[in-house]
Structure 1
Amino acid sequence: MQIIDLSKTIQYNPNDPFFMKVKIKHKAHKSAKWLIRYLGLPFNLFPKNFIGWADDTIKKMGVHSTTHLDAPWHYAPTCEGKPAKTIDQIPLEWCFGEGVVIDMKHKADFEAITVEDIEEFLNKEKIELQKGMIVLIKTGRDKHMGTKKFFTHGTGMSAAATEWLIKKGIKVMGIDQWGWDLPLPYLVEEAKKSNNSELFWEAHLVGIDYEYCHMEQLTNLDALPYSGFKVAAFPLKIKGGSAAPARVVAMIE
């Protein structure tokens, strides 16, 4: 079985917006010596070849800062008229299943992905969506990871296309760019230009009426076929979390 990593490396990146910067402190092996001494073990009783243990501390990392799974709670406090699920309440069955890649690399920056785009691709490739599949939207914008364009450029899912996937029985879907919607700075400017209060974050807000999760900041989708693989996308179990980092992988037999 071949396992393909679809997750972004968690590391400090100076080009990330301030609200998603990651800071990790790496502690050398020798730093543990004094902790062990504090616990009561004399230096002369340390094992001969024992230098100490390495350790690391995540000083800062938002749950949306890297490859992650958004819970319905992220979109709104209620979903389908009930309290929205937080990340620790997501059924694990949603997070493992047959995968499908929908190739939208041809979509221009700031051009939303439509129902017609998805239907055209699926018909062309003779792929039929089944309930419980995990759908991965390939935009190719993971090429911007580590640059300032990652936050400001890309395509994005329309509300209609998101709702269409949910109604096909898709509970978990994902994308290989910064966010699920069109880029936030673009949406802000367009909403102000058009005076349209329904424009901003429209795809996310589908989650108020329909329960679903999506993944953001996937990478390496070019390494996958369009179908014939499984996806595992298990998030960290953060109590009450709106999202959680996930090690997302694809498995090809």
Structure 2
Amino acid sequence: MAVIIDLSKTIQYNKKDPWFMRIKVKNYPHRKSKKLIRYFLRLPKKLWPQGFEGWADDKVIKMGVHASTHIDAPWHYAPTVAGEKAKTIDEIPLEWLYGPGIVLDMSHKQDFDEITVDDVKSDLEKSGATITSGTIVLIRTDRDQLDGEDFVNKGTGMSKEATEWLISKGVKVMGIDQWGFDLPLRHLVKKARETQNPELFWQAHLVGTKYEYLHMEQLTNLKALPSHGFKVAVFPLKIKGASAAPARVVAILED
């Protein structure tokens, strides 16, 4: 029997999220829909089904496609990839989103210390995990345990070179359990001002202008996984023309 491990955050309001990432969900109780149903159907009380309390209903009133656990499409990085139109989230082949998974343990990396090719190779040698075409790579930093400003402003991040190295091995999908895929943005702003270097920003994201790949952000629970020997399913909402979408990401471990 397979064991399924949820790697996704719950979609819910969190006042500690950045204001532009806050989610708002409205829950409507059964009793409210009971009144609405009777009103719109002009249904007298005597014809209401005995014991029926009405339908519960809910609305996602506010949620950006980059909030909570989500996957970025190539369209997010740039309008084109290597001269071709970049794919939006609804254009991604489903085959890319299900496959063998591995975990790269980068939980030892200090805040603001980027993940290098040597880091990736060293962890693969240590764990015995191998990468083949179609492998989905999950990058464990354990920053999913942070909250509020710490979650947004602390963490490691993928370097340009490490991202390109994974792509060169046939990886189309990779993801991380922290707020963003790159080094924290506020840190990059500070360093750019100190060094006057505009090349610091979004190095891993901008790999997507040259190579077609997708990455996930705000994964969770990666510490519950072995280094390899499982499948990953990453199925985002099919939103027309979107640069990203919320996804229910799970790992599947077979007996």
What TM-score range do you get, normalising by the shorter chain?
A: over 0.9
- Distance between the aligned counterparts of 1:213 and 1:40, measured in 2? 50
Specify the SS of the correspondent of 1:19: helix
1:57 and 2:59 correspond: yes
Following the alignment from structure 2 to structure 1, what is the Cα–Cα distance between the partners of residues 219 and 194?
31
2-structure distance, mates of 1:44, 1:238: 43
Once residues 209 and 194 of structure 1 are traced to their aligned partners in structure 2, the CA distance between those partners, rounded to angstroms, is 26
Runs of 4+ in structure 1 over 4 Å off: none
The one-character-per-residue Cα deviations of 1:42-97 (angstroms, maximum 9, x if unpaired) are 22211111111111111110011110010000011111111110000001000000
**Number of the residue aligned with 2:177:** 176
Identity %: 63
Give CA deviations for 1:179-222 in whole Å, capped at 9, x if unaligned: 00001111111112111111111110000000000000000001
SS at 2:145's partner residue?
helix
- Give the Cα–Cα distance (whole angstroms) in 2 for the partners of residues 20 and 44 of structure 1: 47
Q: Does 1:156 align with 2:153?
A: no
1:209-238 Cα deviation digits (max 9, x unpaired): 000000000000011000000000010000
Residue of structure 1 equivalent to 2:124:
122
What residue number does 2:234 align with?
233
SS in 1 for 2:164: helix
Q: 2:136 aligns with which of 124, 134, 137?
A: 134
- Determine if the alignment matches structure 1 residue 33 to structure 2 residue 38: no
Aligned counterpart, 2:69: 67
TM-score (norm 1): 0.98
What residue in structure 2 maps to residue 107 of structure 1? 109
* Counterpart in the other structure of 2:217: 216
Kindly indicate whether the alpha-carbon contact (under 8 Å) linking 2:18 and 2:148 is maintained by their aligned counterparts in 1: no
Q: CA RMSD in A?
A: 0.8
Cα drift, residue 136 of structure 1 = 0.1
Range moving further from structure 2, 44-53 or 86-95: 44-53
Kept in 1: contact 2:139–2:177 (CA 8 A): yes
Q: CA deviation at 1:39?
A: 2.4
Match of 1:203 in 2: 204
In 1, Cα distance between equivalents of 2:23 and 2:213: 27
Q: Does 1:15 align with 2:16?
A: yes
